[in-house]
């Protein structure tokens, strides 16, 4: 399958600081990427859909000013958690779709964020 | 009622057993059906991707879709301890907002030696 690389795999930051997570499609161009959040023993919670060259579409209840998403190229999307707080600690995962709406999406390795 | 229902388990089986994992759904617009495997602290890995009703086989894995019953299954033959993971079903439609995948909550599978 297609390869999606997510970096970093884990990060610890102080409360009030910002953290940037990168999601790269290594062997394909991804017009659409998705950002998810996952709590322990829970399913994936979609945060936003990111389309290259346009503003991300956020799900209801997700603060767009807190979770900044940039999809400036066909191989890179970034999620920045601004002014992080302990309640933002979670597992964040991106996925990238290989083509149009009918195609499959592949996931990155995930990033475990701990805010202290 | 959630759009996609999946029993969280855990499902514990002995090595070599045939495993059956299932999901039900309510949205008749779903056309594409996926199964992902997720190991602890890792991102989900796509196992099977199918369109509409029918069966699809890949090695020890068989995906089955019954759209009339809104029921999908993943069968694992000759299960191995390395198959121990959480299995997520997902599905999506073919137009508009339905193309965004909807995930089940995942079934935890434990294959013991």
From B41, B43, B88, residue closest to A43, measured CB to CB: B88
What pLDDT does A90 receive? 96
Instruction: Name residue, tokens 């209801």.
Output: A60
Residues 6+ apart with CB under 8 A from B20: B73, B74, B75
pLDDT at B110: 98
Could you read off the pLDDT of A23-59 as tens digits, one per residue? Answer: 999 999 998 999 999 988 888 999 999 988 888 999 9
Using one digit for the tens of pLDDT, what is the confidence trace for B76-87?
999 999 999 999
Mean of the per-residue pLDDT values of chain B: 94
Where residue B12 falls among pLDDT bands split at 50, 70, 90? very high
- Compute the distance between CA of residue A58 and CA of residue B44 in angstroms, rounded to an integer: 21
CA distance A38 to A54: 25
Mean pLDDT of B55-75: 96
What pLDDT was estimated at residue B96? 65
| Tokens (6 digits) for A78 | 């970034």
Is 80 exceeded by the pLDDT of residue A1? no
Top residue of B25, B33, B40, B43 to mutate, by most chain A CBs within 10 Å, is B43
CA distance B16 to chain A (A): 26
DSSP string covering A48-84, please? EEEETTS--EEPTT--TTTEEEEEEETTEEEEEE-S-
Q: Span B23-42, mean pLDDT?
A: 94
Q: What percent of chain B has pLDDT over 70?
A: 96
Q: How much is the pLDDT for A112?
A: 97
**Are the beta carbons of A110 and B94 separated by less than 8 Å?**
no
> Could you tell me the pLDDT band of residue B99, with boundaries at 50, 70 and 90?
confident
Contact: A1, B46; criterion CB under 8 Å:
yes
Interface contacts (A, B; CB < 8 Å)? 51
List the single residue in A with minimal CA-CA distance to B10: A41
Rounded to the nearest integer, the mean pLDDT of chain A is: 93
Name the residue with higher pLDDT: A102 or A23.
Answer: A23
Do B46 and A112 lie within an 8 Å CB cutoff?
no
Point out the residue among A43, A49, A104 whose CB comes nearest to the CB of B105: A43
Cα separation, A49 vs A105, in Å, equals: 12
Q: How far is A42 from chain B (nearest CA, A)?
A: 6
CA separation, residue B87 to residues A76, A78, B19, B34 (Å): 27, 27, 11, 10
Interface of A with B (CB under 8 A): 1, 4, 6, 34, 41-44, 46, 49, 91, 93, 95, 101-102, 104-110, 112
CB proximity B101 to A under 8 Å: yes
B61 touches chain A (CB under 8 A): no
Q: Give the largest Cα separation in chain B, rounded.
A: 46
């Amino acid at each position: 399958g297609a390869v999606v690389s997510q970096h970093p795999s884990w990060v610890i930051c102080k409360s009030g600081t910002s953290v940037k997570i990168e999601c790269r499609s290594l062997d394909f161009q991804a017009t659409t990427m998705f950002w998810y959040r996952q709590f322990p023993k829970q399913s994936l919670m979609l945060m936003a859909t990111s389309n290259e060259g346009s503003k991300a579409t956020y799900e209801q209840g997700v603060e767009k000013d807190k979770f900044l998403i940039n999809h400036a190229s066909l191989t890179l999307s970034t999620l920045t958690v601004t002014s992080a707080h302990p309640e933002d600690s979670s597992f964040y995962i991106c996925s990238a779709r290989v083509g149009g709406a009918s195609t499959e999406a592949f996931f990155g390795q995930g990033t475990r964020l701990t805010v202290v | 009622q959630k759009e996609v229902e999946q029993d969280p388990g855990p499902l514990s089986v002995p090595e070599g057993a045939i495993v059956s994992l299932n999901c039900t759904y309510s949205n008749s617009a779903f056309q594409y059906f996926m199964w992902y495997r997720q190991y602890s602290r890792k991102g989900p890995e796509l196992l099977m991707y199918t369109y509409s009703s029918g069966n699809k086989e890949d090695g020890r894995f068989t995906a089955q879709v019954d759209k009339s019953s809104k029921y999908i299954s993943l069968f694992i033959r000759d299960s191995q301890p390395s198959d121990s993971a959480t299995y997520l079903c997902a599905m999506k439609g073919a137009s508009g907002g339905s193309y965004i995948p909807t995930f089940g909550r995942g079934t935890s599978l434990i294959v013991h030696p």
